[in-house]
Amino acid sequence: MCSDLSGKSAVRRELLDARGLLSPEDVRAAAAVLARQALALPELAEAATVAAYVSVGREPGTRALLDALRARGVRVLLPVLLPDNDLDWAVYEGVEQLVRAGRGLLEPDGARLGPDAVLEADAVLLPGLAVDAQGMRLGRGGGSYDRVLARLAAAGADPALVVLLYADEVVAHVPREPHDHPVHAVVTPNAVRRFGE
C-alpha cells in the first residue's frame, strides 16, 4: 500500500508538471473540443441532473460544457468544499454566480443542498489527472471524490462516471488502492473511451 501511495504521488507530480507546460491557448482549444465530445455522450445527452465541477488553472476545461448543459435545461450541481474535504453541492446558475473559494476553486454562491445531493445525478463528471486502461482514475489526492464515490456506492446509486482529460493522460496503468473505483468513460480532445461494457 505504501508503494501505491508513493507511486501515486510521483505520477501526480509528473502529470501536473506536464499540464504546467500547456499554454492558455492550448487549454482553451482543448476545452472547446472536450465540450463538443462530452455533449455527444448519451450519458450526458439524456441526463436530467449532472454533478460536475468548475475547472481551474490548466485542468481540462469544463466551463463551456457547464454552460451548454445548463442551456439544454440540465440541472448542473457543482461541489462546495467543506472543511473536512467532503463535498456539499449547489446548483450552477451561471458563471456570474461563481465565487472564489479555498484552494483556488470556484464555487456556486447559491443554497447548499447537502452532500447527498450528488445521489440525484444521472452522470458525475470527476476531475482527474489520469485514467488507465481499466478505467481506474487518478485524482489530485485530497480524497473528496473518493468520498463522493463511496457515498454513491453505499446508496446503490449508479450514475455514469465520466472524466475529462488531455489525450496523453490516458495511460496504461495508474497506482490504485482498494477504495478506488473505475469510471465508465474518459473524454479527451481526440476520442471517447468506455470501460466495463
Per-residue confidence band for 179, with pLDDT thresholds at 50, 70 and 90: confident
Q: What share of the chain is helix, strand, coil (3-state, %, to 5)?
A: 40, 25, 40
Nearby residues of 100 by Cβ (< 8 Å), 6 or more positions away: 106
CB 148 within 8 A of CB 100: no
Helix axes 24-39, 63-71, angle to 10 degrees: 30
The yes-or-no verdict on residue 3 having pLDDT over 60 is no
Largest CA distance in the chain: 45
Q: Given pLDDT bands bounded at 50, 70 and 90, which one contains residue 177? A: confident
Residue count of the chain, please give it: 197
Tens of pLDDT along 104-154? 889 999 999 999 999 999 999 999 999 999 999 998 888 899 999 999 999
Assign 157 to helix, strand or coil. Answer: coil
31, containing H or E segment: helix 24-39
CA–centroid distance for 46 within its chain? 18
Domains of the chain: 2-194 (3.40.50.10420)
